[in-house]
């Protein structure tokens, strides 16, 4: 496994803010946008309030906005928001707003008012209306920045979603199961998820009692979830308090399900789902097994670690920003309790994120809930390792590009943005790059675990029957062995997370100490070790 750190601190150069902001976006077919109630914000078509800069392109959910919890708690400010939106025939769905003290943005649906003419709601237009009302003095300035888009984030595996496309909206895959992947990229040697047989055994895993501090380093993987029954690792729920390699968090999953939009696809439970939504043909979804593949990478590189699997990604590779922020906030809350000495808290040591989005903010320096919670995690001594994206672009991809944005003070742990290397150490053709990328790791042609024994509807290219034993070419979605080769910055990021976890143990520092200084020391030493 190759890891190469850049020779400079991650930064957003002055020229980044002037680049063409149509780059760095997936070419999602309309059926996927419709499924997730999303739109593409196009700079040349987007309405802009007077005095506001033209936005960059992004993908967002059109019928909801994210409201800061402080705004929700202020009746006077909410009245200002209601009055301003009422001028364009739009209202916030107050009946569905859960007024809690949770320090995170809350998703709130947009609806037409009873008096409005037939039309559509649009979150971007609503935001620009509020900006205009603030500029005209009809709304308090405190509203600015407290109402934001709910971005649609994309997974960074080289398979359909998250890869740049040709504009063919039909998909180019059987039954349109994923957006078209550039043939030039595939012909360059980058295979889509492909089954392989693995002969080498998994590395041995020590008993927890043999580890320093009698505790495993815990890597939180926010992804598609996990599957049961793979012989490479065992899975249990956190509530069972078992020392399995993967633990799922049913309690957190219930929180995410409770805030989900019932008009959009809802993730039920912790386990990954194979089917392509709406298809009766048995195709495997483009990102089915994505989280299992990541868990297998960590199992190979850090066998003594533990993966905390949290399901936020749909099996088509798409993630709702508000659900990601809620999951990260819950993790940060538990880390904070551990730092305060709560013996019942079981904090994570590293967060691994293999998805992201391009922000619409001119200059690509977003603020808001995602930035705030990641800043909080790093301030608590938890490094956040993020895939840099697969668009062969230098446009910042968030949350990875937060590696180049300073926090409120010197963070005790970094955000690490990770690009992909080929096995020979060169930068992969598909990988994003730029001054905001902190390091690169092997992310092309990796072999890891996929759901065991799964066979999709795509058959072998050729079969011969009647001449002795049946013969056929390789079946591209028959994963009878439970292993596959796959590529993407999706897999470079958890490889770096795993190496950090392994270095933490190798350093001999006690992982039983939960205080901030000890956590910061562990992270700094581990990164120094893996950077050579």
Could you give the C-alpha distances from 171 to 183, 378, 397, 519, in angstroms and in order? 13, 39, 24, 46
Q: What is the pLDDT of residues 412-462, one digit of tens each?
A: 899 999 999 999 999 999 999 999 999 999 999 999 999 998 888 888 888
Token pair recorded at residue 345: 């808290």
Spatial separation of the C-alpha atoms in residues 159 and 181, rounded to whole Å: 7
The reply to whether 361 and 500 lie within a common domain is yes
Whether pLDDT at 308 is above 60: yes
pLDDT for the residue 36: 95
Has residue 160 been placed in a domain? no
Average pLDDT, integer, range 333-359: 93
| DSSP one-letter string for 136-171 | TTSS-GGGTTSEEEEEEEEE-SSSSTTB---S-TT-
Using 50, 70 and 90 to split pLDDT, how confident is the model at 102? low
DSSP 135: H
Q: Is the pLDDT of residue 179 over 60?
A: no
Identify whether the C-beta of residue 283 lies closer than 8 Å to the C-beta of residue 177. Answer: yes
What confidence score (pLDDT) does residue 104 get?
Answer: 80
Q: Taking the CB of residue 132, how many other CB atoms lie within 10 A of it?
A: 20
- Distance CA(128)–CA(105), nearest Å, equals 19
Looking at the fold, whether 118 and 248 belong to one and the same domain comes out as: no
SS3 content of the chain, % helix, strand, coil (to 5): 30, 20, 50
- Residue 311 included in any domain: yes
Between CA 68 and CA 107 the distance in angstroms is: 9
Please report which confidence band the pLDDT of residue 375 belongs to, taking 50, 70 and 90 as the band edges. Answer: very high
Q: Is the pLDDT of residue 389 over 90?
A: yes
Within a domain: 374: yes
Range 430-451 burial, b when 16+ CB lie within 10 A, else e: bbbbbbbbbbbbbbbbbbbbbb
Joined together, the tokens standing for residue 210 give 């043999």
- Pairing relationship of beta strands 3-5 and 439-442 according to DSSP bridges: antiparallel
Q: Give the pLDDT mean for 89-117.
A: 80
**Is residue 271 included in any domain, yes or no?**
yes
* Same domain membership, residue 264 and residue 126: no
- Assess whether 118 and 222 both reside in one domain: no
Which pLDDT band holds residue 73 (cuts at 50, 70, 90)?
confident
Domain assignment of residue 8, yes or no = no
Is the model's pLDDT at 513 over the cut of 90?
A: no
Question: Can you tell me the mean pLDDT for 358-378?
Answer: 86
Res. 33: pLDDT tops 70: yes
Same structural domain for residues 360 and 264?
yes
Least confidently predicted of 333-342, 381-390, 496-505: 333-342
3 state SS of 248: strand
pLDDT band at residue 484 under the 50/70/90 scheme:
very high
In the block, tokens 């320090």 appear at 103
- pLDDT reported for residue 364: 61
User: DSSP labels for 46-88?
Assistant: ----TTPPPPPPEEEEEEEEEE-HHHHT-HHHHHHHHHHHHTT
pLDDT of residue 420: 97
Q: Residue 220, SS3?
A: strand
Do 283 and 363 have their domain in common? yes
Integer Cα distance of 485 and 80 in angstroms: 54
Q: Enter the tokens of residue 531.
A: 């950077």
At residue 19 the predicted structure's pLDDT band, cuts being 50, 70 and 90, is low
In angstroms, rounded to a whole number, what is the distance separating the alpha carbons of residues 27 and 165? 5
Q: Are strands 384-387 and 350-353 parallel, antiparallel or unpaired?
A: parallel
Residues 6+ apart with CB under 8 A from 160: 171, 173, 177, 178, 179, 180, 181, 286, 287, 316, 317
What are the beta bridge partners of residue 412? none
Please report the pLDDT score of residue 331 as a whole number. Answer: 96
Q: Give the whole-angstrom CA distance, residue 39 versus residue 57.
A: 10
In DSSP terms, 246 is beta-bridged to: 235, 307
Q: What average pLDDT does the segment 385-396 reach? A: 94
Query: What does the mean pLDDT of the chain come to?
Result: 87
Average pLDDT, stretch 478-505?
Answer: 95
- Residues 225, 102: one domain? no
Among 18-27, 46-55, 218-227, 280-289, name the most confident range: 218-227
- Give the residue ranges of DSSP H helices in 143-274: 183-187, 250-258
Instruction: Tell me which of 17 and 11 has the higher pLDDT.
Output: 11
Cβ-based burial of 251 (10 A; exposed 0-12, middle 13-18, buried ≥19): exposed
Q: Please answer whether residues 162 and 185 qualify as being in contact, where contact means their C-beta atoms are separated by less than 8 angstroms.
A: no
147 and 293: one domain? Answer: no
Considering only CA atoms, give the Rg of the chain.
23
The answer to whether residues 91 and 197 belong to one domain is: no
Q: Is the pLDDT of residue 482 over 90?
A: yes
User: What pLDDT score was predicted for residue 16?
Assistant: 52
**What number of CA atoms fall less than 13 Å from residue 11's CA on the CB side?**
6
Q: What percent of the chain has pLDDT over 90?
A: 58
The CA distance from 353 to 373, in Å, is: 13
Within 6-142, strands assigned E span 38-41, 58-67, 90-92, 106-112
Instruction: Name the domain count of the chain.
Output: 2
Percent of the chain residues topping a pLDDT of 70: 89
pLDDT band at 60 (very low <50, low <70, confident <90, very high): very high
495 contacts: CB under 8 Å, gap ≥ 6: 1, 3, 297, 301, 418, 441, 442, 443, 446
Count how many residues are written for the chain.
532
Say whether both 322 and 451 belong to one domain: yes
| 209: in domain | no
* Residue 421 contacts residue 408 (beta carbons within 8 Å): no
Residue 473's pLDDT band (boundaries 50, 70, 90)? Answer: confident
> For residues 115 and 220, which has the higher predicted lDDT (pLDDT)?
220
Tell me the C-alpha to C-alpha distance, in Å, between residue 126 and each of 89, 132, 146, 214, 386.
Answer: 10, 10, 13, 52, 31
Pairing of strands 471-472, 463-464: antiparallel
When pLDDT is averaged across residues 325-337 and rounded to a whole number, the result is 95
Is 386 among the domain residues?
A: yes
**Bond preceding residue 399 cis, omega within 30 of 0:** yes
CATH (domain of 232): 3.40.50.200
Check residue 164 and give its pLDDT: 38
Q: Which pLDDT tens digit goes with each residue over 184-234? A: 454 467 878 999 999 999 999 999 989 987 889 999 999 999 999 999 999
Q: What is the pLDDT of residue 101?
A: 57
Mark whether 131 and 227 lie in a shared domain.
no
Full domain range(s) for residue 298: 174-180+192-201+217-455+474-508
- CA-CA distance, 266 to 271, in Å (whole number)? 13
Question: What confidence score (pLDDT) does residue 214 get?
Answer: 82
Dihedral (CA of 16, 20, 24, 25) sign: positive
pLDDT digits (tens, 9 = 90+) for 251-281: 999 999 998 988 899 999 999 988 887 788 8
CA distance 213 to 157: 35
Assess whether 93 and 236 both reside in one domain: no
Q: What is the pLDDT of residues 118-176, one digit of tens each?
A: 888 999 999 999 999 998 889 888 888 889 999 999 999 987 554 433 333 333 333 33
Q: Is 211 exposed, middle or buried (0-12, 13-18, 19+ CB in 10 A)?
A: middle
Task: Name residue, tokens 């490889």.
Answer: 495
């Amino acid at each position: 496994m190759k890891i190469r750190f850049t020779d400079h601190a991650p930064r957003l150069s002055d020229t980044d803010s002037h680049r063409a902001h149509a780059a760095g976006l997936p070419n999602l077919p309309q059926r996927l946008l419709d499924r997730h109630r999303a739109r593409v914000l196009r700079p040349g078509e987007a309405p802009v309030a007077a005095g506001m800069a033209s936005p960059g392109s992004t993908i967002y959910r059109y019928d909801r906005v994210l409201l800061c919890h402080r705004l929700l708690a202020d009746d006077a400010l909410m009245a200002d928001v209601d009055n301003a939106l009422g001028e364009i025939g739009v209202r916030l769905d107050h009946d569905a707003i859960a007024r809690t003290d949770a320090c995170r943005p809350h998703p709130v649906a947009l609806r037409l008012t009873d008096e409005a003419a037939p039309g559509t709601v649009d979150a971007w237009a609503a935001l620009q209306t509020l900006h205009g009302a603030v500029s005209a003095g009809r709304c308090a300035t405190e509203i600015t920045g407290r109402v934001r888009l709910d971005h649609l984030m994309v997974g960074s595996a080289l398979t359909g979603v998250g890869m740049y496309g040709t504009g063919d909206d039909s998909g180019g895959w059987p039954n349109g199961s994923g957006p078209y992947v550039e043939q030039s990229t595939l012909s360059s040697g980058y295979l889509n998820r492909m089954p392989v047989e693995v002969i080498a055994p998994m590395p041995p895993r020590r008993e927890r009692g043999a580890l320093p501090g009698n505790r495993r380093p815990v890597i939180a993987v926010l992804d598609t979830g996990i599957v049961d029954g793979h012989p490479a690792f065992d899975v249990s729920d956190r509530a069972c308090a078992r020392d399995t390699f993967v633990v799922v968090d049913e309690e957190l999953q219930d929180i995410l399900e409770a805030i989900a939009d019932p008009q959009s696809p809802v993730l039920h439970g912790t386990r990954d789902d194979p089917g392509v939504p709406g298809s009766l043909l048995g195709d495997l979804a483009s990102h089915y097994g994505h989280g299992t593949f990541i868990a297998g990478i960590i199992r190979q590189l850090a066998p003594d670690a533990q993966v905390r699997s949290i399901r936020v990604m749909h099996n088509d590779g798409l993630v709702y920003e508000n659900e990601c922020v809620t999951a990260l906030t819950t993790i940060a809350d538990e880390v904070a309790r551990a730092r305060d000495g709560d013996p019942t808290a079981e904090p994570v040591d590293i967060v691994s994120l293999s998805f992201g989005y391009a922000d619409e903010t001119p200059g690509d320096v977003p603020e808001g809930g995602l930035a705030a919670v990641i800043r909080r995690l790093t301030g608590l001594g938890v490094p956040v390792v993020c895939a840099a994206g697969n668009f062969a672009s230098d446009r910042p991809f968030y949350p990875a590009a937060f590696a180049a944005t300073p926090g409120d003070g010197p963070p005790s742990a970094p955000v690490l943005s990770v690009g992909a290397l080929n096995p020979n150490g060169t930068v992969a053709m598909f990988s994003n790059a730029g001054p905001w990328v902190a390091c690169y790791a092997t992310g092309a042609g990796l072999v890891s675990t996929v759901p065991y024994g799964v066979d999709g509807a795509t058959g072998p290219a050729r079969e011969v029957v009647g001449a002795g034993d049946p013969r056929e070419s390789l079946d591209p979605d028959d994963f009878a062995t439970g292993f596959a080769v796959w590529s993407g910055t999706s897999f470079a990021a958890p490889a770096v997370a795993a190496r950090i976890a392994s270095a933490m143990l190798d350093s001999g520092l006690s992982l039983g100490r939960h205080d901030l200084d000890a956590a910061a020391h562990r992270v700094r030493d581990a990164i120094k070790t893996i950077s050579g």
